[in-house]
């Protein structure tokens, strides 16, 4: 959510800020703004897209120091005034901010009593006034920012500039990501490496509680108590080309189409043909420790949570360890019992999802052993966890997760294989799963070749006011993810239920106006699934079946047939047609596919 870009160096800042903000558009936002320093602060901000902002930035908007922001509204409706940056009353201090200041109302009342004049409804404007009051007596902007932050309760990623100190930017982080970019006699900062990779691949991630001072010739980092901290730059593997559409109409279609390659990357170097086990050195656990766990608990949000449900099923089937998944957003609020013999797994594509990060921190505080499955190297969750698995899926730009979801499910298959072979999974079954995993990229290509058929079906069903998704056991999390995809990018209401639960209530909704997408793998539950289709058809419901065989026309109006793999791995393949179905339904309805309303790619606030 929201995006921050900052620059200090010999070049004009405005074009760099605008280009960086364009790279962050996928995160979700409603307004945008920039400010540069050149004999005072010059600011432009608008409700709308970065292109609207660029249209109002004049050609002579010069200055080698600046900050920019894309806002996702929390305090105050989207408007020009509520857009960031925010200035102090004397226009000396400018601030951009991601996160939420929980005590903003209390601070605002005190500042107004002291004579501060607020122009916006935002919580962020509190920061500009606090810093302005402190900077007059401080020895440095860094000192003023640190003093102001001591009065803040909440989360923040901020960038601050001072008109009277035109050579530096101060940034700070607490719960919302800030990444520094190291250039040649120039420095950058952003909330996401996407804004930096055109200019540098050398980055430094700030930890919670850290603050950094950026100048053209370098940077310094400090802990909250002003102690200097040592930071080693990382080299990111991604470059600017990874953030282009590559000739596809939308990022989402590009990312769906990349899945044969991204799954192959997730598997690369991790399958052992001698012992039929998965090599996951990043787990940082030996065999003895691995065998000591008696339960696995998986936490994630949204699509990550649904991939965790697939993972729990895989772990139970292959490793015979009790496993379950739950939303990370709820986990810490129920005061969970953290057991020493439970292995916890946190999932996040960005590695910065605040709810998941907070759950990891709670687990660590209580002594839990936590692994991470993330896509972004060096991200907060990756750094907090005891070990884990990187997906290597490449950057995912579209808000709706596709390739990261699939790679996460594959990573869980690797984890389940590893746990199983350390325990009681036979070499024969290990070989069977290894061979099945190797078949996945080719089988995903076969499914992608069905796109014309799925596009036609999407057009057929897109005008439905609501849709039901059903599946049993392995098929239920697939149904949940399919419903999620449809609702988030097409805005068609969709619900997912275990197929066996239909007759316990939801069957009352079934009729000609509510089609059902049924996940029907050719497994031991096939007959029971077909019985469910009969129940739906008997009540006039239309059925689109996704499975391994065509169905009797009496049971299904339409079928999408996908190739079979091993029974345990089939859910990975059954998810792919539902991605294409949601995509083409959204296109048919004229939706903003990559940036659906009200949503953001990286949810860094509660």
Alpha-carbon span 485 to 595, nearest angstrom: 13
Is 403 tagged catalytic?
A: no
Alpha-carbon span 503 to 532, nearest angstrom: 9
Q: Which is the catalytic residue, given 2, 301, 434, 559?
A: 2
What CA–CA distances, in Å, run from 258 to 180, 246, 442, 466?
Answer: 29, 11, 12, 29
Alpha-carbon span 232 to 543, nearest angstrom: 56
- CB atoms < 10 A from the CB of 407, how many? 30
Q: Which is the catalytic residue, given 42, 47, 487, 601?
A: 601
Alpha-carbon span 138 to 89, nearest angstrom: 18
What CA–CA distances, in Å, run from 354 to 233, 328, 359, 380, 511?
Answer: 23, 9, 8, 9, 40
Q: Which of 490, 485, 596, 601 has the alpha carbon at shortest distance from 23?
A: 601
Is 601 tagged catalytic?
A: yes
Q: Are 259 and 364 in contact (CB under 8 A)?
A: no
Alpha-carbon span 187 to 163, nearest angstrom: 18
Q: Is the sign of the CA dihedral 123, 128, 132, 138 positive or negative?
A: positive
Alpha-carbon span 39 to 60, nearest angstrom: 13
Q: Which of 179, 141, 173, 181 has the alpha carbon at shortest distance from 157?
A: 173
Report the catalytic residues: 2, 601
């Amino acid at each position: 959510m929201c995006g921050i870009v900052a620059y200090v160096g010999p070049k004009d800042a405005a074009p760099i800020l605008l280009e960086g903000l364009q790279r962050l558009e996928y995160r979700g936002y409603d307004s945008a703004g920039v400010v540069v320093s050149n004999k005072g602060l010059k600011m432009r901000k608008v409700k709308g897209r970065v292109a609207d902002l660029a249209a109002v930035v004049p050609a002579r908007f010069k200055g080698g120091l600046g900050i920019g922001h894309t806002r996702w509204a929390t305090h105050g409706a989207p408007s020009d005034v509520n857009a960031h940056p925010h200035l102090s009353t004397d226009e000396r201090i400018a601030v951009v901010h991601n996160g939420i200041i929980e005590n903003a109302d209390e601070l605002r009342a005190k500042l107004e009593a002291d004579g501060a004049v607020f122009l916006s409804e935002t919580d962020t404007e509190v920061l500009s006034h606090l810093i302005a009051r402190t900077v007059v007596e401080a020895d440095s902007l860094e000192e003023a920012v640190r003093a102001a932050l001591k009065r803040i309760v909440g989360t923040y990623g901020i960038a601050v500039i001072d008109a009277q100190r035109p050579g530096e930017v101060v940034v700070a982080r607490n719960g919302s990501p800030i990444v520094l970019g190291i250039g040649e006699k120039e420095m950058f900062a952003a909330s996401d490496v996407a804004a930096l990779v055109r200019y540098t691949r050398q980055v430094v991630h700030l930890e919670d509680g850290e603050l950094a001072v950026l100048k053209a010739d370098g940077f310094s980092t400090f802990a909250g108590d002003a102690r200097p901290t040592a930071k080693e730059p990382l080299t990111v593997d991604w470059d600017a080309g990874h953030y282009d559409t590559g000739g596809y109409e939308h990022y989402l279609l590009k990312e769906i189409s990349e899945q044969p390659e991204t799954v192959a990357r997730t598997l690369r170097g991790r399958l052992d043909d001698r012992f039929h086990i998965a090599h996951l050195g990043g787990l940082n656990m030996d065999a003895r420790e691995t065998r000591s766990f008696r339960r696995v608990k998986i936490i994630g949000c949204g699509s990550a949570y649904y991939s965790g449900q697939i993972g729990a099923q895989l772990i139970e089937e292959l490793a015979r360890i009790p496993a379950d998944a739950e939303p990370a957003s709820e986990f810490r609020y129920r005061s969970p019992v953290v057991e020493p013999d439970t292995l916890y797994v946190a999932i996040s594509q960005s590695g910065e999802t605040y709810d998941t990060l907070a759950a990891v921190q709670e687990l660590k505080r209580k002594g839990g052993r936590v692994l991470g499955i993330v896509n972004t190297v060096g991200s907060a969750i990756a750094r907090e966890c005891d070990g884990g698995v990187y997906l290597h899926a490449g950057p995912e730009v579209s808000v709706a997760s596709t390739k990261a979801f699939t790679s996460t499910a594959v990573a869980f298959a690797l984890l389940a294989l590893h746990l199983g072979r350390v325990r009681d999974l036979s070499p024969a079954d290990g070989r069977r799963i290894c061979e099945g995993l190797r078949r996945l990229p080719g089988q995903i290509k076969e499914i992608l070749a069905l796109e014309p058929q799925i596009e036609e079906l999407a057009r057929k069903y897109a005008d439905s006011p609501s849709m039901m998704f059903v599946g049993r056991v392995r098929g239920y999390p697939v149904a949940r993810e399919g419903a999620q995809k449809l609702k988030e990018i097409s805005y068609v209401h969709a619900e997912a239920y275990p197929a066996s639960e239909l007759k316990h209530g939801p069957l009352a909704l079934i009729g000609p106006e509510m089609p059902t997408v049924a996940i029907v793998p050719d497994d031991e539950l096939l007959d029971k699934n077909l019985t469910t289709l009969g129940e739906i058809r008997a009540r006039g419901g239309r059925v689109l079946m996704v499975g391994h065989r065509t169905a009797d026309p009496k049971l299904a109006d339409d079928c999408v047939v996908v190739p079979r793999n091993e029974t345990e791995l089939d859910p990975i393949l059954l998810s792919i047609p539902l991605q294409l179905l949601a995509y083409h339904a959204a296109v048919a309805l004229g939706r903003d596919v990559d940036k659906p309303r009200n949503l953001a790619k990286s949810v860094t606030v509660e």
